[in-house]
Each structure stands twice: as C-alpha cells, then as structure tokens.
Structure 1
Amino acid sequence: MPDYVPGPDDQFNRFQQIFVDFIVARGAALGFAGADITPLTAGRTAWNADYAEHLNKQADARAATEGKDSNRAGYEPLLRAAAQRAQTAPAMTDEWRVEAGLTVRETSRTRAGAPTSRPVGVVDTRQRRQHTITWTDEATPHTRAKPAGVRGCEIWVAIDDQPPTSKHQMTYLGTDTASPYLNVFEDEEQYGKFAHYMLRWVNSKREPGPWSETVSATIGA
C-alpha cells in the first residue's frame, strides 16, 4: 500500500495542515462522516500545539519532543488511513488530489514504437569454423548500447554464393539481447562457403525495425 504521509517532521507538518483542511472541505463528498473527521481535527490541534512547542524550545525540548512523538504515533495512522480512503474514493479527482497534497497517479504509459534505426554488424572470422557477430546502432557507432525501447537484435543468415535479396532466403539464428553472437558451423559441407548476415532491432513487443546492410564472411575450415 502506498504511504502518503511524509517522514520528516517539517514535511509531515505541511502535509497534515493541507490534508486536514482538504478533508474538512471535501470529506463529505468522499464519504467521510463527522465522526471520521473529528479525530483528524483533534489530532491536528494537539499536533500543532506540541510541534509549535517543540520548535520554540528545541534547545531544551525533550519533554515536548516526547509529547510530539507520542501524539504522532496515534495521529499518523489516522492520517494514513484517511489519505488511503480519500485517494481511492470514487468521487476523488486529480484536481482534488493536488489540493489535498496526495499523489496523482499516472494512468497510462507511452508505448514504445517499432525501432527506427538499424544495427551495424561486423563478423570476426579469426576462429576456424565459427563467426563472432558484433553490432552497434548506426546512430551510436562507438557504443554497444541498444536504442531506447529495443529488446534485442535479430540475427539472420543465408549461406550461398550471392547475398540474399529477401527474408525468405535467410535462416533465423536467434534474438540476442547483448553483443556478440557466436555462430558455430558443424556441417563440413558449409566450409569454404559464404555466410551472409542481416540484422534488425526488435522491441519488447517483437516489432522489428529496418534491416541492416548485409555483412558477409567466408566459413573457414
């Protein structure tokens, strides 16, 4: 359950003044009866007196501090319960939440769209029978950070003499969330042939962005 009551005394003091004023003015519309409001106003009166004494006698205010703390121990749960009740009341509006000093909740999140930039792939062939594919974003080529909203990078390959001209000529290898990706070749018939890779970003909804340029490398035996 959210805690609407601030911790530090000065913030607590400001909140309780604003909130109790609000409940006195608007409480009936939110379903608060007089019996609900009276303990709040009584608690505020006692708090105000003790807190004022505490401020006036900070140098030698041990007794006042104990009284203040004792009062708050009983008063704070009343405030917290009333704030929760007011926050969730059917008649409560965001305008009233601001007036009461309560949190105005976000009602929706902006949905991330499909990626608009492309990965730039590089193939490392230094190890026999395997390719290590690394990538960066074309907009930020000096970092491996993915664009905002991107879940990972799809990696596709076509093993042929000529680069592919469509997705249907390629095989999906996987979606990797971090560079690099290791592609190991175990089929001896592929040794000496060309592997052509195309990459694209996908977001959390698996919506793809535009294809990268094709990057090609020989499969070393």
Structure 2
Amino acid sequence: MAATRTKTSFIPQAEGNFDAFARQFVNQVASDPAEYEMSAERVKALQTQLAEWDKKYAAAVKARDAAKAATESKDEARQQLEETVRSVAKLIQANDEISNAARDAAGLPVHKTTRTPVPVPHTFPTGTVIGTDRLELTLMYSDVATPTRKAKPYGVRGCEVYVAVADTPPTDPEDYRFVAFSTRTPELIRFKSDDGGNTANILLRWVNTKGETGPWSQVISATVPAV
C-alpha cells in the first residue's frame, strides 16, 4: 500500500510514514531501473542511503523507546521516594524533641510556635441607624478607622451595645444599659412599648477574644418609632 503523502510535499513529514515511503520508492525503482530510465549509479546511491537510513532510524527508535522507559522508571522512583520523604517529614514535624535548627537543616519548613498576641482594642465602633420599625432600630456599625468596611479589627470578637432612653444623652456610660453583644452588623435593637416616641441614645465598644474592652464610641441617637 502506498505511503500517505502530505498536500504540500510528496515526501511524508512523519518519520514512520517517511520510512515506509522511502522503502517503497527505492525498492520499486531498484526492481526495474529500465522502466524508470535510471542509471545503475543512481540506483546504487539510493540503496546505499536507504541502508544508512535504516540503521540510523532503528537506532533512534531504540533510543526513543529506551528514553521513554527510563522516564517512566524515573517517575515511579520519584513517586516512591516522595511518599517516603513525606512520611518521614511528618514524623519529624510531629516530634517536639527535634529542634527547629535540625528541621531547617533538613530543608523542612519551621512553623511559628507563638501566636501574635491579641491587642486590647484601641479604636471604637462608629454606627448609623439604617432602618426603623415599630419599637425597633436597625443599627449598622463599623470601625472608626475603616468606616467603609464591615470587618472588625484584629482580635475583636464582637461589639457591645448599650442604650439609654433619654432626651439628653447621658455623659456617664454607667447610665446606659447593656442590650446586646453583636458579632455581625447590622444589629436589630428592640425596645419596650414605653420607649416608643422617645430618643434612644446608643453607645458601642469593641470586645476582643480575651474579653478586654476598647474605648466607647460617640453617642448615636435616634427616635424609637411608636407605631
């Protein structure tokens, strides 16, 4: 069967196809030189170069197959070694008796053993009443240092909410009553029926994960809807 030819050249580009084509071509011309009006010298050159090609092509195929086998063997060896290295490294990392210097010398990561201490909050929340309903106020709050972001400062667990219902905001935080510990903004604050129509004054402050409190916020005032 004739070898497949490309559209741009009668000689195939792929080496396997080229090998089949060259063998067909040389053997056909050599079998009947007269038919192709070919001299013995040219036929001899074709046969000699085909033989050289056969030798080099066979060597290349053998080397390619050997390289493929070597690569597969190498990959398998790496996988086995990597699994063992991970297993041994896991044992080393879990052993408190092994120093960090020894871990570092072995090329292993040295993990921090101390946490960054949680600071006492030094900023305060700022808030805005964003919604009202009968005997309810919806409070949106954020940190005064980052008023456009909802994220709490580092180490802060939540926000304490205190309320004083009075026409004039009390100046002493002791005059405010605790109503909620909020961990997510916004916070819904509910009031008693007697508070309807009166002014609610709200104070806020951050509390960290250790229970330490930060400074008080500025007073946020809003009228409690009676209806």
TM-score class normalised by the smaller sequence: 0.5 to 0.7
Distance 1:112 1:205 in 2: 8
Give the match for residue 218 of structure 2: 213
Contact 2:135/2:193 (<8 A) preserved: no
Q: Classify the secondary structure of the residue corresponding to 2:86.
A: helix
| 1:93 to partner: Cα distance | 2.2
Aligned pair in 2 of structure 1 residues 131, 59: CA closer, same or farther (>3 Å)?
Answer: farther
Pairing of 1:72-221 with structure 2 (within 5 A): 72-88=78-94, 92-124=98-130, 126-185=132-191, 187-221=192-226
- RMSD (Å) for aligned C-alpha atoms: 2.6
CA distance in 2, matches of 1:193, 1:62: 85
| 1:42-57 alignment runs, 5 A limit | none
Contact conserved, 1:154 with 1:200, CA < 8 A, in 2?
Answer: yes
2:12 counterpart residue number: none
Q: Give the match's secondary structure for 2:167.
A: coil
Deviation at residue 205 of structure 1 after TM alignment: 2.0
CA offsets per residue over residues 5-35 of structure 1, 9 Å max, x none?
Answer: xxxxxxxxxxxxxxxxxxxxxxxxxxxxxxx
Distance (Å, rounded) in 2 between the aligned partners of 1:148 and 1:157 = 26
Q: 1:163 to 1:81 in 2, by over 3 A?
A: same
**Runs (5+) with no aligned partner, structure 1:** 1-56
Using the alignment, how far apart are the partners of 1:175 and 1:90 within structure 2?
A: 40
Q: Which residue of 2 aligns with 1:37?
A: none
Alignment length (residue pairs)? 164
**Aligned-partner Cα distance in 2 for 1:191–1:165:** 22
CA distance in 2, matches of 1:133, 1:90: 49
1:1-80 matches, within 5 Å, as 61-80=67-86
Unaligned runs of 5+ in 2: 1-62
Query: Alignment partner of 1:61: what SS?
Result: helix
TM-score, with normalisation over the residues of structure 2?
Answer: 0.62
Query: Any conservation in 1 of the 2:200–2:222 contact (CA below 8 Å)?
Result: yes
Provide the TM-score with structure 1 as the length reference. 0.64
**Alignment-mate amino acid for residue 147 of structure 1:** P
Amino acid in the other structure paired with 2:178: Y
AA matched with 2:184:
A
Please say if residues 151 and 202 of structure 1, whose CA atoms lie closer than 8 Å, have aligned partners that are also in contact.
yes
Q: Distance in 2 between matches of 1:125 and 1:88?
A: 53
Opposite residue 187 of structure 2, the aligned amino acid is Y
